[in-house]
A = this chain, B = another copy of it.
Amino acid sequence: MAGIKDVAARAGVSMATASRALTGHPSVSDAARAAVRAAADELGYRANGVARSLRTRRTRILGLVVPDVLNPFFTELARAVEEEARALGYSVIIGNADDRPEQLDHQLRSLLERRTDGLLVAPADDPSAELLRRTARSGTPLVFVDRWIAGAPGVPVVRADGRAAVRALVRHLHRLGRRRIAVITGPAATATGRERLDAFRGALGELGLPPRPELIGHGDFRAESGRRETARLLSLPRHSRPDAVFAADNLMALGALDAIRAAGLRVPAGIALAAFDDIPWFAHLDPPLTAIAQPTAELGRAAVRALADRIEGRPAASVTLDARLVARASCGEPGGARGGGTGRLGNVRRCDDGAERRERESGS
């Protein structure tokens, strides 16, 4: 493959001039620039990014570590991240932690070794997140997205605050007559898992509903845990069985649907179901599923912008957006037993929330 030396030779200039012409350096004569460009075209020259990176100490690659690429939320997030990164001139390497702490470390090490210019991470707060904390302290440009961990001061966090939406959801269920509302939580090790559970409990309290430990299912953001915990909830003695289930993410909601169907129950007649994280398919489930929607793509874009700020030496800001409730038929009423899916794709929203909120605090 032709190198810059070949291009320079063909254009009859030095490597230095060839390099300047190709990288758009201003002080190159028009004649030289034209000759170099022509030579490069003729040779089909493509700069060796590895050599360039070694010299410039920048790879223009961003690392993104997500807990589970198959989770539609993270898929959409990754897509938005890639798009915004591309717009800013970066490529993205996605690392899938597969919800395993050692995988997170593996991905982190791999990304660090590749000298990505910066890292976007949605971590679980595991004691073994030591490497992540060290990375944060080491000065590697780092931004947390969706989730964050303690012990990493100065790292901007880009996330959606789901508390108001969870509160709206619980009130929605209450208004529709549900009183024994169960929740299937995410891992206590995740910031989002804790936040959703806290908001849920708080909302219950506000409505004067007693806390019922047996109605809390401990899931892990994966479908199987949703199925398992829902099955358990449905096998409770009749008087303590829930009349509604709130799954703290979309995959657990899928599992919950499985369990509900296996038990021969109907939604919402037999039991209400709602999920955190909205996806296009929810409008077409049987019945259309009530869910809390995050501004996922905007989260991804904001995270990339914050990271680029960090990398390029500008002050980076944390960003908090709001999630919102999309009420469909799975808890009763909205849209009726049928329906709930009219109009434009994925746009069947009845929002119970306020406007989007952004809070910008200067990062360090």
Contact surface of A with B, Cβ cutoff 8 Å: 1, 44, 46-51, 53-54, 59, 61, 69-70, 72, 75-76, 78-79, 82-83, 86, 91-96, 106, 109-110, 112-115, 134, 138, 223-224, 227, 254-255, 257-258, 261-262, 280-281, 284-288, 339, 341-345
Residue in B50, B78, B92, B224 whose CB lies within 8 Å of A53: B50
In the complex, are the beta carbons of B227 and A254 less than 8 A apart? Answer: no
Which of A44, A50, A258, A342 has the most chain B CB atoms closer than 10 A to its own CB? A50
CA distance A116 to B78 in the complex (A): 20
CA distance A109 to B46 in the complex (A): 8
Partner of A341 from B47, B138, B261 at Cβ < 8 Å: B261
- Indicate how many identical chains form the complex: 2
The 7 closest A-B pairs by CB, nearest first: A286-B286, A281-B281, A49-B113, A49-B114, A50-B53, A50-B54, A69-B79
- Which residue of chain B has the shortest Cβ distance to A53 in the bound complex? B50
Residues of B within 8 A of A91 (CB): 93, 95, 110, 114
Tell me if A82 and B94 are in contact (CB < 8 A). Answer: yes
* A234: min CB distance to chain B, Å: 15
Residues of chain B lying within 8 A (CB to CB) of residue A138: 1
Q: A90: nearest residue on chain B (CB-CB)?
A: B110
Contact B48 A115, beta carbon cutoff 8 Å: yes
| A113–chain B nearest beta-carbon distance, Å | 4
Chain B positions within 8 Å of A285 at CB level: 281, 284-286
Between-chain CB contacts (< 8 Å), 10 pairs: A46-B112, A50-B53, A50-B59, A79-B96, A82-B94, A83-B96, A91-B114, A94-B94, A284-B285, A286-B288
Asked if B70 and A76 sit within 8 Å, CB to CB, the answer is yes
Name the B residues within 8 Å of A288 (CB-CB). 286
Of A254, A261, A343, chain B has the most CB atoms within 10 Å of the CB of: A261
Please give the distance in Å from A257's CB to the nearest CB on chain B: 5
Q: In angstroms, how far is the closest chain B Cβ from the Cβ of A19?
A: 15
Please tell me which one of the listed residues B75, B134, B223, B254 contacts residue A75 in the complex, with CB atoms under 8 A apart.
B75
Do B115 and A50 touch (CB < 8 A)?
yes
Q: Provide the bound-state CA to CA distance between A286 and B284, in Å.
A: 6
Q: Could you say which residues of chain B place their CB within 8 Å of the CB of A106?
A: 86
Question: Once the chains bind, are B49 and A261 in contact (CB under 8 Å)?
Answer: no
Q: Which of B78, B94, B113, B224 contacts A345 (CB 8 A)?
A: B224
Cα distance A112–B82 when bound, in Å?
18
Residues on B with C-beta less than 8 A from A280 are 223, 254
CB distance from A293 to the nearest CB of B (A): 16
Closest CB-CB distance, A114 to chain B, in whole Å? Answer: 5
Do B281 and A49 touch across chains, with their CB atoms under 8 A apart? no
